[in-house]
Amino acid sequence: MDDTKGLAIALEEAKISYDEGGIPIGAALVGADGTVLGRGHNMRTQLGNPILHGETSALQNAGRLLATSYKGATMYTTLSPCDMCTGACLLYGISRVVIGENKTFLGGDGYLKQRGVEVVVVDDEACRGLMEKFIEEKPDVWNEDIGVEERVYSKEGTKQPSA
């Protein structure tokens, strides 16, 4: 699948989440043959669930798969993956991670590369604009989602304090 199309699905999921009053991060897991294996979005607000980020939701919705299904697969995500989602991609040996933007949050981009995963950062304006809007509107929910105590966001971008 073309990366533009894959990221468009992830962004569509992010928008669904925003419209539900949730954190606008979406993801899509696409197999080596171009099949969408799973897609999903952050569900912290909607379900009160702290482990359902965009990427983990896509993995959950893909259901049980054999290791071979993840081989050559790409995880499309609107935002740089946090440590948990980075680890989820590593656990299942996902080959590529295409990231909408990593300006509002910088997660495991470097660690993924270090572990042999191909990482592409698109720097997509729509992904970034949606996150900036959400963080402006609900900074506390965002801080909760990335496990930080205070607002660390700035227009110049933010980093996970522990990174």
Could you say whether residue 90 binds its own copies (CB under 8 A)? yes
**Site size for its own copies (CB under 8 A):** 39
Could you say whether residue 30 binds its own copies (CB under 8 A)? no
Q: CA of 159: how far to CAs of 42, 73, 111, in Å?
A: 19, 27, 14
Q: What are phi and psi of 85, to 5 degrees?
A: -70, -35
- Residues of span 92-111 touching its own copies by CB under 8 A: 92-93, 108
Could you say whether residue 84 binds its own copies (CB under 8 A)? yes
Could you say whether residue 50 binds its own copies (CB under 8 A)? yes
Q: How far is the CB of 2 from its own copies (least distance, A)?
A: 26
Could you say whether residue 22 binds its own copies (CB under 8 A)? no
DSSP 37-67: EEEEE--HHHH--TT--HHHHHHHHH-S--H
Could you say whether residue 74 binds its own copies (CB under 8 A)? no
Q: For tokens 């935002």, what's the residue?
A: 79
Q: Is 2 left (phi over 0), alpha (psi -120 to 50) or beta?
A: beta
Could you say whether residue 113 binds its own copies (CB under 8 A)? no
Distance CA 126, CA 160 (A): 22
Q: Is 55 a catalytic residue?
A: yes
∠ CA 20-109-100, rounded to 5°: 40
Q: How far is the CB of 107 from its own copies (least distance, A)?
A: 9
Whether 4 and 126 have beta carbons less than 8 Å apart is answered as no
Could you say whether residue 159 binds its own copies (CB under 8 A)? no
Q: Which of 83, 95, 122, 132 binds its own copies (CB under 8 A)?
A: 83
Question: What amino acid positions are annotated as catalytic residues?
Answer: 55
**Residues lying near its own copies in the complex (CB under 8 A):** 44, 48-51, 56, 59-60, 62-68, 70, 82-88, 90-93, 108, 115-116, 143-144, 146-149, 160-162
